Structure 1
Amino acid sequence: MNIEVTKPAARWFKEQFEGNGNKTIRFFARYGGCGSFQSGFSLGISQEKPEQPLASVSIDDFTFFVEEKDAWYFNQHDLKVKYSRNHDEIEFESIEVNR
């Protein structure tokens, strides 16, 4: 699994989360909401340190990661994190892996 965070999305995270000193962002599976990976679940965001990362990427002093325990949610897809200027929010895209 790979994680891609676009530059506009990285800037959004920096603006939202830089003040408290913790520069690690976890994407995790949560029950409910509308997600593009698994029906009935969606992605959550939290600031916490990695324990057993499945995938991670560092951009502008921030580390974005997914834990191994959430691998089932992604169903062998990559994650692309984008920023929507129209909605002023983060969007997640599922990218099928052809490996």
Structure 2
Amino acid sequence: MKITVTDKASKWFKDDMGLDDGSSLRFYGKVYGNTPVHDGFSLAMTPDGDTSDAYALTEKDGVNYYVTEADEWFFKGYDLEVDYDAKHDGPQYNYIQNNEL
């Protein structure tokens, strides 16, 4: 799994969530909601500094974005692209199918 964060999304996370250099943001699956790849589950995020059990990790503008081993099931077979949605003034998540089994 690969995580990609666009420049505009990075700016939003830093400005609106107050993330700064050395911060970490964890993405995970939660019950309720829907995504293009899961019914009954949605994507959530939380500031979290412990990346020791990262399944996927990327650094963008000094911030670590990651998914833990416990949430591998939610992202299995997909890369996550995090973009900025100006209409909703927030992140937009795109799931890109990969060859991971």
Common fold: TM-score over 0.5: yes
Structure 2 counterpart of 1:74, one-letter code: F
Q: Closer, same or farther in 2 for the Cα pair 1:87/1:31, shift >3 Å?
A: same
User: CA 1:59 to 1:22, structure 2 compared with 1: closer, same or farther past 3 Å?
Assistant: closer
The TM-score normalised by the length of structure 1 is 0.90
How many residue pairs get matched? 99
Structure 2 counterpart SS, 1:40: strand
Q: Is the 8 A contact 1:25 1:64 kept in 2?
A: yes
Task: Tell me the distance in 2 between the aligned counterparts of 1:22 and 1:41.
Answer: 29
Q: 1:89 maps to what in 2?
A: 90
Please give the root-mean-square deviation of Cα atoms over the aligned residues, in Å. Answer: 1.8
Deviation, structure 1 residue 38:
1.5
Structure 2 unmatched runs, 5+: none
Any stretches of 5+ residues in structure 1 without a counterpart?
A: none
Which sits farther off after the overlay, 59-68 or 30-39?
A: 30-39
State the alpha-carbon separation in 2 of the partners of residues 19 and 92 from structure 1.
19
Asked if the contact 1:37–1:75 (Cα under 8 Å) also holds between the matched residues in 2, the reply is: no
